[in-house]
Structure 1
Amino acid sequence: MRAQVVLHAARGRSNARTARETGLHVDTVRRWRGRFAAQGMSGLAGRDRSGRPPSFSALQAAQLKALACQLPAETGVPLSRWSCPDLAREAVERGIAAVLSASTVRRWLKDDAIKPWQHCSWIFITDPGFRAGAARVLDLYAHTWQGEPLGHDEYVISADEKTSIQARCRCHPTLAPGQARAMRVNHTYGRGGAVAYLAAYDVHHAQVFGRTEPRTGIVPFMNLVTQVMSQEPYARAKRVFWIVDNGSSHRGKKAVDRLTAAYPNAVLVHTPVHASWLNQVEIYFSVVQRKVVSPNDFTDLAQVGDRLRVFEDRYNATAQPFQWKFTASELDDLPARLDRHTTDHRQESSAALAA
């Protein structure tokens, strides 16, 4: 910006016009124009500022960040993940700095959004038919089946079971939140049993059909299918595609034949093995977990079922289809990215062991 001020001045423009075109204050323009006139290029450099000089060098900060990007076990530290105090202590022991505080470590890591105390889980794709199976599911989400667009009388249902929703009756009443106070839930509870929640989610119309059962299994799942397929528009639909994972309630060709025998217009579509994240009903279950089940405070199983049914009505009244972003065009890139991740991790581990 200082150079721009000088260039504007060389073109004969006034301070006011330069300020407008650069977005600077006119006093700022006047100051840097005057310094350049008096001192030349050296006048555009910043002056020494008062205050204590930096206590740490950029190299020390980089070394600390490099340490934070290694697993503690790979460095011989008996920890599962780093915290800022642990990093500060390790940096001092390694001689990176004579003295280092956790707050300084936190500030350095914040510059590059490094958070070694967090972790997330992931899983390798092992199903040899992953691409073909995933493509079928993703095509259905995109209103396509076997290269042909779905008709107006064809529907896509995503179904699964959420197992073991417990009824935990707290020994003391839950306290509502207040000023500067979170909701308080007593830790001690009595067990009131558990129930399975089965749900079918219409992907393109954002409608949920659910039911509670004492346990999961073939019969409970077929009860859910009957609940959906016995009502319109699914009863007279040309085809209703049911996307399910490989759970024992609906696994394999027997499940396909069982569904087709009961409802000829139903088509069972399995997600690949260990890829239930492709099933959109899992997103709805995460909503249920956050908004209905947690924190768990129910007097009995009947209250669990009533709460879930009322929530379904509330959800269906305002729900919009999920904005699904993983498309079939990204399928080829996913295995390649996992392979690169595995290769890089192995190379880094080998280099660390060699060092």
Structure 2
Amino acid sequence: MASATGMSQSAISRIWRAFGLKPHAIETWKLSTDPQFVDKVRDVVGLYLSPPENALVLAVDEKSQMQAIDRTAPTLPIMPTTPARRTHDYAQHGTTNLFAALDLGSGAVIAQHYRRHRHQEFLRFLKLIDDAVPQDLELHLVLENYATHKTPEVKKWLLRHTRFHLHFTPTSSSWLNLVERWFAELTNRKLRRSAHRSVTELEADVRTWINEWNRDPKPFIWAKTADQILDTLAAYCQRIKASRH
């Protein structure tokens, strides 16, 4: 860039920093093709911004295939001028699936590990939620479009438990489910720097972290309206259309 414009490299660097430009970085994104995209966005965001009275809104999802990973050598601790260091290779000791329901009001989480990820486990988790939440409250669950959430067995159970109301996010729109924000906290604060020699050890460690979280939970506040989200996506679509000409 400096050579092409006749400017100094330091000037180009200052301009990039001033405008937050990062030519070396590329991010990925995916536009949902769900035919009910607009209606689903308005439904889910409406729950976030204006939850119904006498009801609990829960953002529900599964963090599947969590790996129990142990490094092949102990991690070297941080030292003056030297960051903590660990081996690039590791040993795998199995996987587990964490089902989680984030209470949008309080930030508290109902969670349970299951070794498999089928509709049977999803039903067991629904029953856990049913037992954990007072019976006088309606339950509105924000979910993604997994096949395990829509099996005949699940539908029959929901018909017998009428306080449960399911709200599905559009396809390819996991960013609309607030529990994903909590999963990011779990990954950054616990999983990324941890080592576990068994699935049982991983599950116990995560359970301890969740219990600590629930002692002083922090809710995540949804700020954007449905109209703001749809306007932003419309602008992206216009840019895509313009880039093709």
**Same structural fold, with TM-score higher than 0.5 when normalized by the shorter chain:** yes
- 1:116 positional shift: 0.6
The CA distance in 2 between the partners of 1:245 and 1:255, in whole Å, is: 18
Residues 240 and 173 of structure 1: CA distance in aligned 2, closer, same or farther (over 3 Å): same
Task: Give the partner amino acid of 1:308.
Answer: V
- 1:296 positional shift: 4.5
Would you tell me which structure has more strand in proportion to its own residues? 2
The CA distance in 2 between the partners of 1:273 and 1:112, in whole Å, is: 33
- 1:188 positional shift: 2.5
Unpaired runs of at least 5, structure 2: none
Give the alignment partner of residue 268 of structure 1, picking from 161, 166, 169: 166
- 1:338 positional shift: 2.3
C-alpha contact 2:71 2:91 (8 A) present in aligned 1: yes
Give the alignment partner of residue 27 of structure 2, picking from 120, 132, 136: 120
Residue 182 of structure 2 is aligned to residue 284 of structure 1: yes
Per-residue CA distance 1:34-72 (angstroms, 9 max, x = gap): xxxxxxxxxxxxxxxxxxxxxxxxxxxxxx3xxxxxxxx
Report SS of the residue matched to 1:272: coil
Give the alignment partner of residue 188 of structure 1, picking from 77, 86, 89: 89
Task: Give the partner amino acid of 2:20.
Answer: A
The CA distance in 2 between the partners of 1:123 and 1:232, in whole Å, is: 35
Larger radius of gyration between Structure 1 and Structure 2: 1
What is the alpha-carbon root mean square deviation over aligned residues? 2.2
- 1:106 positional shift: 2.3
Partner of 2:204: 306
Report SS of the residue matched to 2:242: helix
Report SS of the residue matched to 1:125: coil
The CA distance in 1 between the partners of 2:242 and 2:89, in whole Å, is: 46
C-alpha contact 1:155 1:237 (8 A) present in aligned 2: no
Report SS of the residue matched to 2:112: strand
Partner of 1:226: 127
- % identity of equivalent residues: 24
Report SS of the residue matched to 1:196: strand
- 1:123 positional shift: 1.4
Residues 290 and 200 of structure 1: CA distance in aligned 2, closer, same or farther (over 3 Å): same
C-alpha contact 2:57 2:141 (8 A) present in aligned 1: yes
Partner of 1:208: 109
Residues 111 and 158 of structure 1: CA distance in aligned 2, closer, same or farther (over 3 Å): closer
C-alpha contact 1:259 1:267 (8 A) present in aligned 2: no
The CA distance in 1 between the partners of 2:231 and 2:153, in whole Å, is: 32
The CA distance in 2 between the partners of 1:237 and 1:142, in whole Å, is: 22
C-alpha contact 1:175 1:184 (8 A) present in aligned 2: yes
Residue 244 of structure 2 is aligned to residue 340 of structure 1: no
TM-score (norm 2): 0.90
Per-residue CA distance 1:152-200 (angstroms, 9 max, x = gap): x311111111111111121211222232222222222221011111111
The CA distance in 2 between the partners of 1:237 and 1:182, in whole Å, is: 52
Higher relative contact order (CA 8 A, sep 6+): 2
Task: Give the partner amino acid of 1:211.
Answer: Q
Unpaired runs of at least 5, structure 1: 1-63, 65-87, 145-149, 348-355
Per-residue CA distance 1:270-322 (angstroms, 9 max, x = gap): 11111121111000011111111113411111111011111111111222221
TM-score (norm 1): 0.64
Residues 108-257 of structure 1 aligned to structure 2 (within 5 Å): 108-144=15-51, 150-151=52-53, 153-233=54-134, 236-251=135-150, 254=152, 257=155
Residues 5-84 of structure 1 aligned to structure 2 (within 5 Å): 64=1
Residues 276 and 227 of structure 1: CA distance in aligned 2, closer, same or farther (over 3 Å): same
The CA distance in 1 between the partners of 2:101 and 2:59, in whole Å, is: 6
Q: Which runs of 4+ in 1 moved over 4 A?
A: 100-104
Partner of 2:228: 330
- 1:341 positional shift: 1.7
The CA distance in 2 between the partners of 1:159 and 1:172, in whole Å, is: 36
Task: Give the partner amino acid of 2:34.
Answer: D
Report SS of the residue matched to 2:227: helix
